[in-house]
Each structure stands twice: as C-alpha cells, then as structure tokens.
Structure 1
C-alpha cells in the first residue's frame, strides 16, 4: 500500500495542500475529486516528487525513499509527440528508463495484443482516434511494472463511449494486475461504476474520504454535501442511456 502521512506543501498567499493523509491498497481505484484550484495537481506533484514536501512523509510498501520508481504517471493528452509512431515512442520512453524493448519483447507483444493495437503499432499518434491514443500511452507505462498509476483527467476530450471503454480498461488493470489507481476527473458520474474509494479536496484540505459503494451512495450527493452546490463547473453528464 501507499500511505500519505500528514503531508503539506505551502506556496505564497497560503495556497497549497495542508495536512493530507490517506492510503491506497492493492487493487484500489481511488477517485480524487475537487473544484479547480482545490489542490489536486499539487497533491499529485507532491506524491510524484515534483514538489518537495514542507511537512509529512509518504511510505510505499514501507519504503519512504525509493518508492517513486514504482509509480507510473499517465501523461496528459497533449504531452507527447503526435508525429511519432507508437513503437518509436514506446522505445524512447523505455530507453529513458534503461529498458530495451528487445529484452522484453514477449511482454511488449502481449500488451499490444491486450490493448488491441497489433495493427497500429507503426502508426503515428495523429492517425489514431483519441481513445486509441490513450490505450497506446499505456504500453510504456505498464512495461515498467508500476504498483501505482496516477491518472489526471484521463478521459478529457473523449466521447462517452471512449471514456467508458478506457475506464473499463483501468478497472481491468486494477482487478487483474492489482495495480493501485489514483484518478481525478471533473466528470464524476462516470467514476461511480469504477472507484471503491473517494477523496474530496477543498481549499487544499481533505473534507471527506471514505470507501465508496454505488449501491449505498451517490457521488453527486456526496459532492453537494461536502463541496457545496455553489461550485458550477463540475460536470454531471447523464450516462444512463449509454450504460443500458
């Protein structure tokens, strides 16, 4: 498990995150929800090591030093060269981690097949749909055997079918490979079928955290209760028809 223990990162004008504590266990999919400016990105960057903590510590399977080698970050949709072929991009990312594709060829091929990208491995990203681009970006990430994957708005710019398809894939990774998932989204309705824990952030602090079961509660109701109805730019898409 990863355990976040009372971490704080404070910027000028008292912006940042304050006394954040929570844990994620193997197989958990944890939804991190909050309004713009609530501190989600600061929290993610603090976990990833982009920001030096002012207080607190992070332990990953009891290790508080080298744990970031076991964390995979899913890149933003615009943060990769779209003129690159999938294979070349995967090779480049793995080279940075001193891993040669030829040394893990069987694993690479298995992942490509699992993600349904056999016919497209030598296509450039710009020739793929947004949904296929998302799947392709998972290849180098999964080849590094992460224990935790952090996804920041991974379904942004996808249509409803592609969003649900991608979230089902994330659920599969959690269930079959016991990978811990931390996922943010402004589209909280779509998270209800996939997460089993939820954390609400407000003004850099956790205002609610608990296990989540769709049969017992609604994310929208929890959102209104703990974050307030004055926040208007959380998206509540009606996905009932697509789920039928």
Structure 2
C-alpha cells in the first residue's frame, strides 16, 4: 500500500534521520517505534503531506487511499458542547447539518454500535471520559471507511481495559473492511498483540521487520514524543 524509500528529514542543519526504508502491506498494522524525540510524529506528518521530506520518497503503488488520523487527544473536542453522535458525524464532508440521508443515519448508527458508543450517543463529548472520547475519535475516523488509519499514541492515556477495547475495534475493521493501520506506540504489549510489522526509527537510520523478530532491548519505553 505504501513504500518509504531512502527517506531523510532535516530541520536546519540537523538530520532527524536518513536512509529510512519501510513498507506498509495491505491489511497490516505497522508500528512506528523509537526513542523520544527521534521523529515518529514527523514521519506521520510527512505521510499526511503536512511535512516535506528532505530526501527520499513516499510512494503509493496503487491509488492513494482515504486516510484518517486519530491523535492521543484533541483539545478542540473540549471546546464545543457537541453530543458524541454529532461529533462523529463531523467526518462527513458537509459536517453537522439539520438533514441527513437514511444511509448516513444508518452509517452513524453502525459505527456507534461498532465502537460501543450507542448508549453514549447523546452525551456531550466534553463531559466524556478519556476512553469514551478516544472511541469517539476512532468512530469519527472510521465513519468514512478509510483505507489507511493512523493512530498517534491513541492508547497512551487509557487503562488496560479501554486500550484493548479500542484496539479490538481497530482489528475488527482491519479484518473486515480491508483497513491498513500505522500506529505510533510505546506500549510493547499493544505492539506485540496487534502489530504485524515495525519501523524502528533511529538518528542514524531505521530498522524494518516483523514484530515477532523485534529486539525490545532497543526500545525506550516511556512518554510520547512530538518530533
């Protein structure tokens, strides 16, 4: 689905990394990992075309898919007293409006059911718990049936029950909706349970392979980075 070839990103005179190579296979989960500050989120921004590569290329062998991004938190969700169902519907191109087609209403109901939000549909998102908000972000992303889902530390602030519940939904969509996933995570349990492949970013380059072959001693498990 996506190939990264000899990628390098430079800020001023400092290289974050160079010679990064990886591939995302269809219906696979790729975990992007590495120490704090190495530039994991910066690579995601490049995939989202919000950051230019200094060298190398990101290529889509087939047609570029619909991409949706789920962050760890969204400050804007606290600014508007929207019901969760209204927040989820923002994913539609025309956003919230007083009319919706039957197909759109059914689609919202279906995604609320899949993400276990039906009973919370009328609750204000700014009053929801962290886990409920995260499922709302996921529901909004999945509403338009994307081909690529990007999770940026999406489980970082969740308890064990909530994070596995969230990732089980992601796994279901991968298996049944031909979804591919890139996730940034420091959670080794989640990586081992749900990821197929990994991209370990280092200042001097990268390491790409299958998660079953990952040497976890290379990892610094801790807080997220925003580089």
Larger RCO, structure (CA 8 Å, separation 6 or more) = 2
Q: Would you say 1:223 and 2:216 are equivalent positions?
A: yes
Q: Would you say 1:71 and 2:67 are equivalent positions?
A: yes
TM-score scaled by length of structure 2: 0.85
Instruction: Tell me which residue corresponds to 1:27.
Output: 27
Most deviating of 77-86 and 40-49: 77-86
8 Å Cα contact 2:33-2:199 kept in structure 1: yes
Instruction: Tell me which residue corresponds to 2:52.
Output: 52
User: How many matched pairs?
Assistant: 220
Deviations along 1:115-170, whole A, 9 cap, x unmatched? Answer: 22122112111332222211111222112221111111011111111112212222
SS of equivalent residue, structure 2 residue 92: helix
- Of the candidates 70, 76, 83, which is equivalent to residue 80 of structure 1? 76
8 Å Cα contact 1:135-1:166 kept in structure 2: yes
User: How far apart, CA to CA, are the structure 1 residues paired with 2:122 and 2:61?
Assistant: 38
Instruction: Tell me which residue corresponds to 1:241.
Output: none
Q: Would you say 1:186 and 2:182 are equivalent positions?
A: no
Over 3 Å counting, the alpha-carbon distance change for 1:87 and 1:31 in structure 2 is: same
Deviations along 1:189-240, whole A, 9 cap, x unmatched? Answer: 232111111111111621x211223xxx5x5xx131x45xxx47479xxxxx
Cα RMSD of the aligned pairs, angstroms, is: 2.5
SS of equivalent residue, structure 1 residue 80: helix
SS of equivalent residue, structure 1 residue 144: coil
User: How far apart, CA to CA, are the structure 1 residues paired with 2:210 and 2:35?
Assistant: 20
TM-score scaled by length of structure 1: 0.80
Instruction: Tell me which residue corresponds to 1:242.
Output: none
1:1-244 equivalent positions in 2, closer than 5 A: 1-63=1-63, 67=64, 70-82=66-78, 83-95=81-93, 101-102=100-101, 104-203=104-203, 205-206=205-206, 208-213=207-212, 217=213, 219=214, 222-224=215-217, 226=218, 231=220, 233=222
Deviations along 1:92-130, whole A, 9 cap, x unmatched? Answer: 342467998535222222111222212211211133222
Which blocks of at least 5 consecutive residues in structure 2 are unaligned? none
